[in-house]
Every structure is written in structure tokens, then in C-alpha cells.
Amino acid sequence: DQQVKQNSPSLSVQEGRISILNCDYTNSMFDYFLWYKKYPAEGPTFLISISSIKDKNEDGRFTVFLNKSAKHLSLHIVPSQPGDSAVYFCAASEENSGGYQKVTFGTGTKLQVIP
Amino acid sequence: DAMVIQNPRYQVTQFGKPVTLSCSQTLNHNVMYWYQQKSSQAPKLLFHYYDKDFNNEADTPDNFQSRRPNTSFCFLDIRSPGLGDAAMYLCATRSSLTGNQPQHFGDGTRLSIL
């Protein structure tokens, strides 16, 4: 039962163009969504997040969009740079009143930005 | 820089020989997590500590244990590693004191079983 799905294992984009990474989820109790970036031989690095009360969050070249009715979120990278080449993990969490946050990860999308 | 440090980065052990992986943090976060990640798969939560309270995921094998002697350190003990336990093990930390916050990960320990 995969609650967070990234259906595209890989994506190639030309430098300077937009990269769009997609993620779908099934659990309506998720209230916080995150994107992590992972280079080879390193741990995941937090990139950007969005609360379920918003539909967009922007940080520089990175924008995350959330469509709750469709249970879909996406990460837009504009413009894409070769250094953005990495595996991107979508993650979703639900938190109880005690502060316990359980995060469920997708399987990742490998982005290659071609110079 | 405040960070999450995992040692060793690479660990080789023999089938059935106990192994311990360590994680330390300078972030002073009250929550620490251990994940297992196999190739092309999502990180899978094994257990986490909320302060001193240990929380085991229902499907984490009994072979996996954890210790958290203080806020800064957390250990993953695999009592009798099998070939299926070869994976990347990721430690993460988080503060639960200020609402929704991301987890911060170490660089992982890649475990190989001979």
C-alpha cells in the first residue's frame, strides 16, 4: 500500500527550461508535504515544504504546488541548472496532537539537467 | 555547522554477526528516526525516539533494536544480520517543539552483508 507515489522514475530536462516533478498521495490525513533532494552518497536534503492550508509555496527557483482535491503535488524548478541533477523525493506527513510526525516517502524521481 | 553525523559511512559485516550503526546530532532535536532504504525504494521508517520514548513500527523485524543514551546520540543494533538487511540506513532528526518542521538527515551508512 504505497500512500505516496512518484510515477516517473526519471526525467531529463534541458538547462534553462522548467523541470516539473509530480507526486500523488492517497491518505487524506496528510497535512504537511515536503520535497527532498538527494545526491549520490549523501543523505536527503530538505528542499521545500507546504502545509495543507496552502496551495503554493515558493523559494527562489523552486515552487511547490498542492492540489488537495486531486491529492497531487508538484515541484517546479525554473530555470533548471545542471547542479539540480539529483534524485527528488516527495514526502507527506501527518502529525498528531503529541507532535509525532510520521513521514511517508515516495520512491523518488531522478532528474537529469542536460547542459 | 549543526548537523547529523552517521558513522561509519560504510560497514561490512558477516551473515549473523551483530553490528551497530551510530548517529549523532548537534541540532539538539528531540526526535530521532532510523530509516532503511534499499535501491530504488522509498526510505522505510524502522523506529523513532520522541525524547526518550521509543516507538517501533509494526513491521520492523525483531532483529532490529535501538538505543538512545542521550539527546545527541542514537544507535541502531542489528542482532543477527541477514542478506536481506543489506541496505542504506539513514538517521534523521527533527524538533517537534515548533509545529511542522522538516526532518534533517545524515549521509547514511551503507551496510553490506557477506
- In this complex, do B105 and A36 lie within 8 Å of one another by their Cβ atoms? yes
Q: Do A31 and B100 touch (CB under 8 A)?
A: yes
Confidence bin at B108 (pLDDT 50/70/90): very high
Mean pLDDT, residues B17-39 taken together: 95
A105 and B42 Cβ atoms separated by less than 8 Å: yes
pLDDT of A97 > 90? The answer is no
Question: What residue in B sits closest to A95 (Cα-Cα)?
Answer: B100
What gap in Å lies between CA B7 and CA B17, rounded to an integer? 18
Provide the mean pLDDT of chain A.
94
Q: Do B104 and A46 touch (CB under 8 A)?
A: yes
What integer pLDDT is reported at residue B96 of this predicted model?
83
The reported pLDDT for the residue numbered B2 is 62
Q: Compute CA distances A58 → A43, A109, B100, whole Å.
A: 23, 20, 17
Overall average pLDDT of the A18-43 stretch: 95
Best of A51, A101, A105, A109 to mutate (most B CBs within 10 Å, chain B): A101
CB atoms A42 and B41 under 8 Å: no
Q: Which pLDDT tens digit goes with each residue over B46-69? A: 999 999 999 888 899 999 999 999
Q: Which amino acid is at A1?
A: D
Q: Residues of A with CB below 8 A from B106's CB?
A: 43
Residue A100 pLDDT exceeds 80: no
**What 3-state DSSP class applies to B24?**
strand
Q: How far apart are CA B27 and CA B33, in angstroms?
A: 14
- Report yes or no: B4 and A43 within 8 Å, Cβ to Cβ: yes
Query: Which segments within chain B are labelled E, that is strand?
Result: 4-7, 10-13, 19-25, 31-37, 44-50, 53-56, 64-67, 73-78, 87-94, 104-105, 109-113
Interface of A with B (CB under 8 A): 2, 4, 9, 31-32, 34, 36, 41-46, 49, 51, 89, 93, 95, 98-108
